[in-house]
């Protein structure tokens, strides 16, 4: 298009953009509105044609604007905090906004861990926020920004990406948390909570059935989680009462035994739990830290994104641990 024509188009577009944004709610309404503007401004058919061309551009732009809502970083943080209530927990690291990025957010990428691979995936997806279960900062770190920490932080800062991390509050949320969502995946319904900070879930099969043997439960876990599980101990009859605690929940095994569970499902196992399982007659299933914690972050991020009109994508960076 010639420069003069483009100038006319630009002037028409600039002059009526705000007005059109307010008025253009339908194609018919928009055309009528445009005719009015074009005739009033240019008083000629040429102006009308140019302006109709520009309307198509505007409408495409309008659709894009409607689909890509934006919200302030602070409002997003507030939405996560309202849902997960981090102040209620004593945790191993800071919950909430761990790394400050852009002031506004339009797309969230969720994942289990703020690994370099996840950050790179978020950059590729043009996200301006990452929501994870395992953030960057933990009690006991030496505080140096070197090696992997430097690389991850450098990527986040260079691309102005906000990092939100919620650890125990994400495990604990009664509907969207890691334990609630793991239970849902496994077809279990929670009837009680147990252990420190009420992180353990205790319940049974949602369909009211039982697992005839520990091996039957192991097969079910492997089918749902798509990975081998470690089974220790023997069940005493059919398994009805099941306890679970996602991730590194081995420390919850004794509380699960005390709560009367016949089986305990978690991510990891340490040396002592194998003996407890054999000696107490409660079957222990170690199903992988990552495998048991990949359901909470996408559930929370999807809900918050839907409420605020943001885009969301879950990126699963597979992990054998």
Shortest distance, position 147 Cβ to Zn ion, whole Å = 21
Name the segment binding Zn ion (CB under 5 A); options: 53-61, 147-155, 228-236, 245-253.
245-253
Q: Please list every residue from 32 through 91 that binds Zn ion, using CB under 5 A.
A: none
Task: Give just the sign of the alpha carbon dihedral 52, 57, 58, 64.
Answer: positive
Say which DSSP state 10 is in: H
How many whole angstroms separate alpha carbon 222 and alpha carbon 245? 17
Shortest distance, position 247 Cβ to Zn ion, whole Å = 3
296 contacts Zn ion (rule: CB under 5 A): no
Shortest distance, position 65 Cβ to Zn ion, whole Å = 38
Residues in the interface with Zn ion (CB under 5 A) total 2
249 contacts Zn ion (rule: CB under 5 A): no
State the alpha helices, DSSP H only, in the chain: 3-23, 27-42, 45-67, 73-84, 116-124, 147-158, 168-172, 178-186, 214-225, 253-258, 271-280, 289-292, 296-308
Shortest distance, position 249 Cβ to Zn ion, whole Å = 9
Shortest distance, position 81 Cβ to Zn ion, whole Å = 20
How many whole angstroms separate alpha carbon 313 and alpha carbon 316? 10
Site for Zn ion (CB under 5 A): which residue of 101, 195, 233, 247? 247
Burial bucket for residue 226 (CB in 10 Å: 0-12, 13-18, 19+):
exposed
How many whole angstroms separate alpha carbon 27 and alpha carbon 103? 34
Name the segment binding Zn ion (CB under 5 A); options: 48-56, 85-93, 190-198, 286-294.
286-294
**Which residues here bind Zn ion, judged by CB under 5 A?**
247, 293
């Amino acid at each position: 298009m010639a420069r003069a024509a483009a100038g006319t188009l630009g002037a028409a577009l600039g002059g009526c953009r705000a007005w059109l944004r307010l008025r253009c709610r339908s194609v018919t309404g928009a055309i009528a509105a445009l005719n009015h503007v074009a005739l009033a401004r240019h008083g000629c058919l040429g102006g009308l044609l140019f302006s109709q061309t520009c309307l198509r551009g505007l409408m495409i732009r309008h659709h894009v604007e409607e689909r890509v809502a934006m919200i302030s970083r602070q409002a997003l943080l507030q939405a996560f905090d309202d849902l997960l209530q981090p102040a209620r927990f004593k945790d191993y690291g800071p919950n909430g906004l761990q790394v400050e990025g852009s002031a506004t957010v339009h797309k969230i990428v969720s994942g289990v861990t703020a690994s370099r691979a996840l950050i790179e995936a978020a950059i590729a997806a043009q996200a301006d926020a990452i929501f994870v279960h395992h953030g960057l900062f933990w009690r006991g770190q030496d505080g140096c920004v070197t090696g992997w920490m430097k690389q991850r932080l450098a990527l986040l800062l260079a691309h102005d990406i906000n990092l939100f991390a919620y650890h125990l509050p994400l495990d604990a949320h009664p509907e969207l948390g890691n334990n609630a969502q793991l239970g849902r995946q496994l077809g279990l319904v929670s009837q009680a909570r147990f252990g420190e900070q009420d992180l353990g879930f205790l319940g049974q099969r949602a369909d009211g059935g039982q697992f005839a043997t520990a091996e039957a439960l192991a097969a079910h876990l492997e089918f749902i989680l798509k990975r081998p599980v470690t089974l220790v101990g023997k069940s005493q009859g059919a398994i009805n009462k099941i306890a679970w605690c996602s991730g590194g929940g081995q420390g919850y095994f004794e509380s699960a035994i005390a709560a009367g569970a016949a089986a305990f499902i978690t991510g990891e196992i340490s040396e002592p739990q194998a003996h407890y399982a054999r000696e107490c007659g409660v079957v222990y299933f170690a199903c992988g830290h990552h495998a048991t914690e990949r359901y909470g972050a996408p559930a929370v991020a999807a809900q918050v994104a839907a409420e605020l009109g943001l885009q969301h994508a879950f990126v699963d960076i597979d992990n054998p641990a």
